[in-house]
Structure 1
C-alpha cells in the first residue's frame, strides 16, 4: 500500500503576453480572465487562491484597461488569495543578461509590494533552461526556493525535489515539475472520474517524489480558473483519505516539502539538460535580429545610461530615475521566451522592434545628457595648448569599463561657421577649418584618421526657442585612445591645423591584404577568410571567417537538417579586396558572392538544385595596440530554409569549450551526453564570448548579439558562430495551431553582424579574455566640449575595482534612497581579496540584490577592502559626498 500524501492543488494560469497571437489580442483574454477570477474570489470563499503566473506586468496590462479595479486587486492580494510576483515578467534566462534577470525581480518586487504582498517563490515554469547563478540571484531577494519546468530530467536516482546550488555555494530548495505545469489542468466534474484522475496522477508521480507532498497544477497557458474546483475538492476529500487534498499555494507547498528536505540530493550549476530537445535550443538563433537589438539596448542601459547618469548625479545633475525605469520596463516587455526567443507569430516580432527603438532613443538621450554634463564640468583649460580659444576645442573620451583601457574610438568634432538661424543660415567661410590635429593631456600628438570632413547644418534645440540650425565644419575622426581610466574619462585637445598627424601604416601592406600591429599579424584572402599569427605565442590560425550554409527544415523552436543535406561554404568565392581605411585603425574590405540553395525541396528531405546569389561584404578591422581582430559582415540573404554560420578552425586539442554566461563562465562538452537522445543540440548559449584552449594557447570568438555557438566535433575543432537561422513556420507541421506560417522568420534581406577573434596564451582565465570581449561590446564614447574652467580634472576614474577577476555589473542610484548601488562579481573559481575605490565614497554597506542594507564596511581613503567568494555576486550601497 502506498504511503499517504498531501496533494497541493494550485490554481493558476501561465500567461504568455504574446505568442501565436499578438499582445493586444491576448490582453483582451487577460482582462476577461482577471475579471472572472475576481468575481470568483468574491462569490466563492472556498475558492481560496489563484496564481497570476508569478508576474506583475499582468497587473499593469489589466489596469490599463480597468484602472478602477486596482482597489479590488489590492484587497485580494493583501488577503493572500491572489498571488503575484516576484517577477516583473518571466524572461528567458539565457538570451537576456544577468542584470536583466535582477531587474525583473527588483521591479516585480516593488510592483507587488505596492499591491500588498510579494509571492516569495522562484517560479520558473517554462524557461528554456535555467542559468547556473539563479539560486544566488533568488537568495539575493530573500527567496530560498525554486519551482521550474525545463532543463532537467528524471534520470535513475533522481527525484523531483532537490537542493539546487549556484557555483558560489548559494542553495535553494527546488521542485521540478516533471509532469508539467498542467498535470491537473482540469479536474473532471464527475466525482468518480475526478477520484480516478487524482489516484492515477498520484500513482505516476509518487515514485519520483522525495517527500509526501505532490504538486497538482490546475491550469495552463491562458486558461481561466476552474470555477467548480472548490466543490470538486470538497467531494474528493473524504474519498481520498488518508491522503489529503488541499486548495493550496506555491508558498505553502514549499514550506511543506521543506519539513522533509533532509537528505535531498544537491545539484550544482546550470539546469539545461536538453533531453529529447526539451530546452528548444533552436531559439538561440531564431530571428537573430531580435537578439542583436536586445544586446544593443541592454549594453546601452547597463554600461552607459545608468552608470554615467549616476556619476552625473553625484556631480549635481538630476538623476533620471523615472526614465530609466520606463526604459527597463519597456525592454523587459521583449524578454519573455516567446518574444526574445523569436518563436511567435510574425506580427508579434514586428511589434517588438519599435519597443527596442524606443529603449534606444531614451537610453541614448540619457547617456548623452549625462556625458555632456560631466564633460561640461571638466577643467579643459588646464590642458597645454597653443593658439586662441577659437582655434581649439576638446574631446572627452569616456570608458564605461572598470579598468584602464587602450582602444579605438570615433569622435565627431564641429566648428561653427556662423550663427544659429531659423532659416538657411549664412556660412562665414573666413571661420572655416581645413584640418585638425589631436593632442593628449601631455601635449603629445595623437595620430588620427579623418573619416568625414564636410560642411553640415546642425540643429540647435532650446526649451525657450523654436529649433534653429547653425552651419558647422564637421570632422569625423578615428584614433586609438590610450590608457583611458577605468569607469572614467580622459581629455584630448583638438587644434585647427594645416596638416593632420597620421600614423605610418601600422607596419602593414594593406595593398596585399596584410595587417599587423604589436600583437597580431593577419593576411586576408579574396574569399573573406584570414590567416592569423599571434606574435606573442607564435600560434597560427588559418581559414578563419569562413561562411557555411546548411539546410534547415525545422521551425522557430528547433534546427532540423534535411535528411539529404548539402553544405555550402564561401571557400571557393573570389572577391575583391580594397583598403577602406588606414592609419591607427586599419580596415580591409572584401566583397564576394556566396551561392546558396534557394530553399528546401518541397518534400523537406533536401535542398533545391537552384542556387541564389547572396552578396557578402566583410570589413576586417585591426587597430594599433589592441590584440583582437574585428569583423563587420553584411550578408544579403536571398535563401530560405537554411542556417548561416561563420567558422573559426582552431586546430587545438580540446574536447570542450568555455563561454560567458550570466555572472559565470560555463565549460561545456563538445557533444551532449548520449542519454539525452538524438534530439539534444550540440549548440550552446553565450553572452559576449566563447573560447577553446589546449592549455598552452587559445582562441576566443567575441560577438555582439549572436548568442549561439558550437564547437564542431571535427579534426579542426572549429568554433561556429550562428549568424542566421531561416525557417518558415512557428512549430511542428500539419494543421496544428503552432504550424502557422511565419515567412518573416526566413530573414530575407540584408543583415550586418559584428564579431571578433582574440588569440591568447593559456586558458581564458589566464588571459583575462572577458576584458577583451567587454571592450569589443562596449566601445569608448567620445563627446566634444568647449574650452572652460571646471571642478573636474582632465582625467579621472569614478570606480577602481581590483583584482581583474572582479567584474563590474551595475552602477545605479538606489531605488529607495539617495545612495549609489555598485554591483560586481568574482568571475573566477578562486576566492579573492578585493578593493573597491569610489570617487567621493563616505560610507559603504553590503546589501542584497533587493538593495536591502546589511552590514557596514570600513572605508579608508574612499576605498573598501573585502573578501569575495568564487563566483559571488556582491552588491554595495555607497554614500557619496554631496550626493542629492
Structure 2
C-alpha cells in the first residue's frame, strides 16, 4: 500500500493490458471469406449477391480509394460456444485505424435475405451472431482517410472495439497527394486497405463488465483533485482489483476483482453534483471529406448500429437531425426506414432540427432558410406525424440574427449548438440562455458545456461539462451528445455502459440517458431567469468559408433567385388560370439547393468531388428553372410582338417590388468617353471619372455634387493577400492575412470595348479584366470582374474607399440587415475582421450613403481611418476569391465572373433596392400586354420576398413579406387575383388562428421592425 499514485496507475494499466483485455474473447474461430470488388460506383445488395465471389483471406489488400468490396462470410459456430456468461459475436477488422472514427473504411452487414444487421466501424467491430452458423455479407467501403496527415496518434486499436481515439496533434498542412484523394479522377487505383481479421469470438461478459468498471473509475480518478479522499479510495480499490486478478486464471478471478470495485461504484453522487442528460448522437455530415453518395451509406451503417443498441438497451435514446438523411434511408433502405419509424413512434429515435439538412446559416437567403424548415418539418410531419421542437445545428459556422424568428415561426422553441466554443478570441458567456433575434423573437438556447457533439461519456468529458457550465448557481443541468461523430457510426455499447455506471457515482456528474425534449423541459424549469444574448452569434473562426469555392456560392445565389422568379411567375400564371403550377418540379429543385446549403458544402470546405457535383447540380437546376420561368412568362405576356419586361425596374430607389412586368424596352447603356487624363461614364444621376490607368478616382452624385471617392484614393482596386491560415485552409482566414498585400496598380491594358471601359490586369499566373458600365438613369455604376485565377493560398479582394464617416455599416442578412461597428473598441470588435453580407453593404451618414452590392459574394471587411485633412475614409472590401489547397487542391482555380455595383443610397432601404436590381435582372419577353403584379404592398419599407402556391397543393396563394427598414410599419397588401378569404400563417403555412380577411376587404397589417409575415389566400376562379 506504499506505492505512489503513478505506480498504482501504471500497474492498473499493465494489468488491464496484459491480462484482462486479452481475456475478453474466450475463444476464436475462423470463418470462410469470399469477395467481389465492385468495378465502379456502389451497387445494391440484390445486384452484388448475384456476382461471382472469389476466395479471400485475412491479410489481403482490397479496394482502391472510394471503392467497394463485398465480402461473404460463412461458417459454423463451434460446438459448446455461447454458454452462460458469454455471447457469440463476429469480429470484423477491415483494416481500421485507431486515428479517427469517420475518415476511413466502414462496412454494412446484411443477412442473405437482404435485411440489414448493423454497421462495422473503426470503434465498433462486432456483431452478435444469431443461431449456430454465420452467413453474412459485408459491403465494405474503402473511403480514403483524408485527415491522416492532420492528426497523429500513438493509440493502437484494442480488441473488441474498446479503443477510443486519443486527442491528436494538428499538423499544419497535409501533402498534396492527400487532397488529391478527394476526387475519383485523381485518387488512383491501388488498394488502400488490408483485411486484417474476420473471426468468430466468444465474448466473456464478466470480463467485458470489468473493463467498463475500470475505464470509468480510472477516468474519474484522474479528474479528481489529488487531495480528495475519494480519489485515494478509488486508487486503492483499483489496486485491490489488480491483486484479485490471477494471471494464471484471469476468467476465474474476474468476479472477485469486480467485487473489489463494487463499493466505490456504488457510492452515490454528491447532492450538488451537476446533472447531465446524455443523448445519443452521430453528427453525420451530409457531405464533407466524402461525397453525398457515401453519406447515404453512412446513414445506413450508423442508423442500423443505433437500432441494434436500442434492441439491447430500452433506456437508450438517439437524436437525429436532417430530414434529407431520413429521406435517403426511406429511398435506398426501406426496410431500415420501417424499423426507424417504429422507434420514432416510441420516442426513442428522435427527429430533431426540423430542417432539411444542418445548413449553414450565414449564406442561405431568407427564403432558403424558411424552406429548410418547410421541407424538413413537412417530411417529419408526413412520415412520423410530428414536428421537431428543437432547432439543431451543432456544427454550423456562426448563426444569423434572423434565425430565432425563423426557427420559432417554424414550430421550434429550443435551439442547440456547440460551435461557438470554437471562438478564437472571446468565450461566449452562457450555456443556457435566451437568444434574441433581429426582430426581438427569442428562443431558448443551449451549448453543451463540454464543447463537443461527440462525447464518449468518459470522465474527462463529464468533468469538463461540470467545470465549465456557466449557469452554476442558477441552474445545474446540461446536455451531452455522445457517439462517434462526423460519420463514424454514432454511440457504442461501451458509451452506454459508461452512462449506466455514472448515473449516480460519487465524484462524477449524474448522467441520465434521455431525450432532447426531456433536457429542454428540465433546463427551462430550472432556469427561472435566463440571460439574453441579442443579435447574431458571430463565430470567431472559419471566416474563410464566406469566400472559399466561389462557384458553389455563385450557384447557390443564382439558384435562390431563379427559384424566386420561377415560383412568382408560375404562381401568377396559375392564379389566373393560364397553366398548372409545377409543384413537383419546384420541390425537387428546392431539395437539391437545400442539400447543397449543408454546412460543409456551401461554405466551401468539402473535397473536390462534392463541389464538382454541386456545380453540376446548380447547372441542371439553372436550366430547369429557366425553362419554368420562360413558360410562365410567355403565358402571362400573351401573343404579340411587343417587348414585355419582367422584373421591371422599380419606380423609385426605395421601392423594392420587382414583381410586375411592363411593356417597353430595357434601359440603354451609356457609352464611356475619353476625356483629358482618363475616361468618363456619366448620366443624369452619377458621374464616374477614371484616370488614365483606368482607376475610378471620382464618383459624383449629380444631385448633391458630392464625390464619393476620398482625395487621392482609387476605388474598385484589386488587392491580393497572402492567405496561409495556421490550421484549416478552406475554413479560415487568419488575422495576419492583412500584413502582406499586393495592390494591382499597373494595368496591362485600358481601352473602351463596346459599352464598357475595360481594364486588364495580370498577377502571377492569373489575369483579371474589369469592365465598367453605366445604364441610362441608373443610380449605380456596374463593375464586372472576370478572373482567370491560377494562384494558390492567395486572397483576392475588391476595395472601395469612400468619403463617408459611419459609426456602423449595414450588412444585408435574411429578412433584414445588421449593423456592425467600423471601429475596434473591444476584443469582440477586433475579432470580427471578416464578416458576411448577402446582396449589399451600406455605409452612410444621415441623409447620404453608399451601397456596394454584389451578385454572388458573401465575405466582406469594413474599416475606417482618419485622413490628414480631418475627413474619414471608410474602406469597404469584397472578398472575391481564395485558393486553399485542402481539402480541394484545385479550389477556385480557373474562370470566374463577379458582378458588383456601387452607387448612392441614403438609407439601407435604398441599398436593398440596389441588391434586388443586381440579383433580379430584367427579362424581355415577346407579348402584347403588361402583367399586373400578383402582390403589392403600400409601404416602401415592406418587401415581398416570396410568392408561391401552398405546399398542400390546395391552390392557395402564399405571399411572404417582411419589414426591411427596422421600424414599425402599417401596410396594406393587395392581391392581383380574386380570393374568398385570406389569413396569416406561420412559416409552415399553418393558420395562426387570427381573424381572416374576406375577399372584399383590404388586407391590413402592422409589422414590428424586421418582422416576417406570411399571408395565405383562398383563390376563387
The TM-score normalised by the length of structure 2 is 0.67
C-alpha distance in 2, partners of 1:319/1:124? 33
Query: How far off is 1:311 after superposition?
Result: 0.7
1:173 corresponds to 2:309:
no
1:744 maps to 890
Query: How far off is 1:670 after superposition?
Result: 2.5
Query: How far off is 1:210 after superposition?
Result: 3.8
C-alpha distance in 2, partners of 1:46/1:229? 13
2:922 maps to 780
1:98 corresponds to 2:366:
yes
Structure 2 counterparts to residues 325-404 of structure 1, below 5 A:
325-376=587-638, 393-399=641-647, 403-404=650-651
Residue-by-residue CA offset, 1:597-633 (whole Å, 9 max, x unaligned): xxxxxxxxxxxxxxx2533322211111211111111
3-state secondary structure, aligned to 1:635? strand
From 824, 834, 845, the counterpart of 1:683: 834
Q: Is the 8 A contact 2:997 2:1003 kept in 1?
A: yes
Query: How far off is 1:199 after superposition?
Result: 4.8
3-state secondary structure, aligned to 1:822? strand
1:532 maps to 699
From 957, 969, 981, the counterpart of 1:820: 957
Query: How far off is 1:504 after superposition?
Result: 11
1:571 maps to 745
Residue ranges of structure 2 left out of the alignment (5+ in a row): 1-269, 867-872
3-state secondary structure, aligned to 2:389? coil
Given the superposition, is the C-alpha separation of residues 563 and 137 from structure 1 closer, same or farther in structure 2, using an over 3 Å criterion? Answer: closer
Structure 2 counterparts to residues 353-752 of structure 1, below 5 A:
353-376=615-638, 393-399=641-647, 403-404=650-651, 486-492=658-664, 513-530=679-696, 531-542=698-709, 543-554=714-725, 555-560=729-734, 566-580=740-754, 587-595=755-763, 612=764, 614-671=766-823, 674-676=826-828, 680-715=831-866, 716-730=873-887, 742-745=888-891, 747-752=892-897
3-state secondary structure, aligned to 1:92? coil
C-alpha distance in 1, partners of 2:997/2:651? 26
Which stretch of the first structure deviates more once superposed, 685-694 or 540-549?
A: 540-549
Residue-by-residue CA offset, 1:765-815 (whole Å, 9 max, x unaligned): 4xx221122112111122123x6xxxxx54523221121110111111111
Superposition RMSD in Å? 2.9
Query: How far off is 1:64 after superposition?
Result: 3.3
1:187 maps to 457
From 988, 1007, 1016, the counterpart of 1:868: 1007
C-alpha distance in 1, partners of 2:367/2:284? 23
Q: Is the 8 A contact 2:289 2:606 kept in 1?
A: yes
Q: Is the 8 A contact 1:527 1:592 kept in 2?
A: no
3-state secondary structure, aligned to 2:377? helix
Query: How far off is 1:157 after superposition?
Result: 9.7
C-alpha distance in 2, partners of 1:591/1:200? 57
1:124 maps to 393
C-alpha distance in 2, partners of 1:613/1:848? 52
Structure 2 counterparts to residues 799-878 of structure 1, below 5 A:
799-816=935-952, 817-842=954-979, 843-854=981-992, 855-859=994-998, 863-878=1002-1017
Q: Is the 8 A contact 1:711 1:719 kept in 2?
A: yes
C-alpha distance in 2, partners of 1:488/1:564? 45
1:757 maps to 902
Q: Is the 8 A contact 2:935 2:959 kept in 1?
A: no
Q: Is the 8 A contact 1:591 1:615 kept in 2?
A: no
From 274, 283, 289, the counterpart of 2:545: 283
Query: How far off is 1:654 after superposition?
Result: 2.4
1:268 corresponds to 2:534:
yes
Query: How far off is 1:241 after superposition?
Result: 9.7
2:319 maps to 51
Given the superposition, is the C-alpha separation of residues 222 and 230 from structure 1 closer, same or farther in structure 2, using an over 3 Å criterion? Answer: same
Q: Is the 8 A contact 2:636 2:931 kept in 1?
A: no
C-alpha distance in 2, partners of 1:346/1:706? 20
Larger RCO (CA within 8 A; separation ≥ 6): 1
Given the superposition, is the C-alpha separation of residues 847 and 155 from structure 1 closer, same or farther in structure 2, using an over 3 Å criterion? Answer: same
Given the superposition, is the C-alpha separation of residues 259 and 564 from structure 1 closer, same or farther in structure 2, using an over 3 Å criterion? Answer: closer
Q: Is the 8 A contact 2:735 2:833 kept in 1?
A: no
Count of equivalent residues = 727
Q: Is the 8 A contact 1:73 1:115 kept in 2?
A: no
1:216 corresponds to 2:484:
no
Query: How far off is 1:549 after superposition?
Result: 0.9
Query: How far off is 1:676 after superposition?
Result: 4.5
Q: Is the 8 A contact 1:400 1:778 kept in 2?
A: no
Q: Is the 8 A contact 2:462 2:509 kept in 1?
A: no
C-alpha distance in 2, partners of 1:157/1:97? 26
C-alpha distance in 1, partners of 2:589/2:788? 32
Residue-by-residue CA offset, 1:384-408 (whole Å, 9 max, x unaligned): xxxxxxxxx222111278x54799x
Q: Is the 8 A contact 1:812 1:821 kept in 2?
A: yes
Q: Is the 8 A contact 1:615 1:636 kept in 2?
A: yes
C-alpha distance in 1, partners of 2:624/2:1001? 32
1:314 corresponds to 2:575:
yes
C-alpha distance in 2, partners of 1:236/1:493? 74
Given the superposition, is the C-alpha separation of residues 179 and 796 from structure 1 closer, same or farther in structure 2, using an over 3 Å criterion? Answer: same
Given the superposition, is the C-alpha separation of residues 671 and 281 from structure 1 closer, same or farther in structure 2, using an over 3 Å criterion? Answer: farther
Query: How far off is 1:525 after superposition?
Result: 3.6
Q: Is the 8 A contact 2:748 2:762 kept in 1?
A: no
Larger radius of gyration: 2
Query: How far off is 1:4 after superposition?
Result: 4.0
C-alpha distance in 2, partners of 1:493/1:174? 52
C-alpha distance in 2, partners of 1:198/1:521? 64
3-state secondary structure, aligned to 1:328? helix
Query: How far off is 1:342 after superposition?
Result: 0.6
3-state secondary structure, aligned to 2:622? helix
Q: Is the 8 A contact 2:769 2:787 kept in 1?
A: yes
Residue ranges of structure 1 left out of the alignment (5+ in a row): 189-193, 381-392, 408-482, 495-501, 581-586, 596-611, 731-741, 788-792
Q: Is the 8 A contact 2:502 2:509 kept in 1?
A: no
Q: Is the 8 A contact 1:844 1:859 kept in 2?
A: yes
C-alpha distance in 2, partners of 1:638/1:689? 28
C-alpha distance in 1, partners of 2:669/2:675? 12
1:225 maps to 491
Query: How far off is 1:671 after superposition?
Result: 4.9
Given the superposition, is the C-alpha separation of residues 406 and 8 from structure 1 closer, same or farther in structure 2, using an over 3 Å criterion? Answer: closer
Residue-by-residue CA offset, 1:210-259 (whole Å, 9 max, x unaligned): 41212122123223222244444333334359964311111111111111
C-alpha distance in 1, partners of 2:718/2:461? 54
Given the superposition, is the C-alpha separation of residues 672 and 852 from structure 1 closer, same or farther in structure 2, using an over 3 Å criterion? Answer: farther
